[in-house]
Structure 1
Amino acid sequence: MQIIEEGEQAFFRKIAKSIEIQGLREDDRQLLLNAKKKIEDGYEWRETLLGLLTNLNAEAMALKLSPGLREFYSLLYNNRASLEDLKHDIKGSMTLLMIFD
């Protein structure tokens, strides 16, 4: 097993990959598309990811979250303390999420 991505690019790629999940509710897909667009447009990573977490959390609490998004939601939720502590955008040296192949 080797680390293939870390930090902000891992989150960005996870968002992009999650958009392609079959059977994803349109509301969930729109949340991901909005987050992806914000990142592409240069919005702050911290605010974008925390906003996405807040929205996914609301969907999860209402039992509406698409099953395919539960893993990504868990990754964001489990890293929320690290996200909240960020003072600046996530940089490559900070590992918040590692995707293994």
Structure 2
Amino acid sequence: MFYDDISVYPAFGGVVFAQQEGQRIAGYLGPKNKNMIMQNHGLLTSGTIGATTGGLKKTLVDHETALYTKKGTGSPEAMYMQFEPEYQLLLKESDGQFLE
């Protein structure tokens, strides 16, 4: 599924507000990849196509940026809003069998 189709973004610094950050992320995807590991964050998948980057290097996000990101996306309400559509899709596709 991810073979020859995944990039690593070593510089995730929090919620993206600036166009330049979006352009950097797109640059790491490149012309063919659709998936990305955003270090210190998680996975990104897209309908666009992008390129691979080399090497994995641990990059630390400063406390202020991490706290700001958590406050904006880590509340119970925000997590519920992210979870609920996935749960409903799984419920529909499995006809509820995963609950057994």
* Smaller-chain TM-score bracket: under 0.3
Larger strand proportion, structure 1 or 2?
Answer: 2
TM-score (normalizing by structure 2): 0.24
Larger helix proportion, structure 1 or 2?
Answer: 1
TM-score (normalizing by structure 1): 0.24
Q: Whose Rg is larger? A: 2
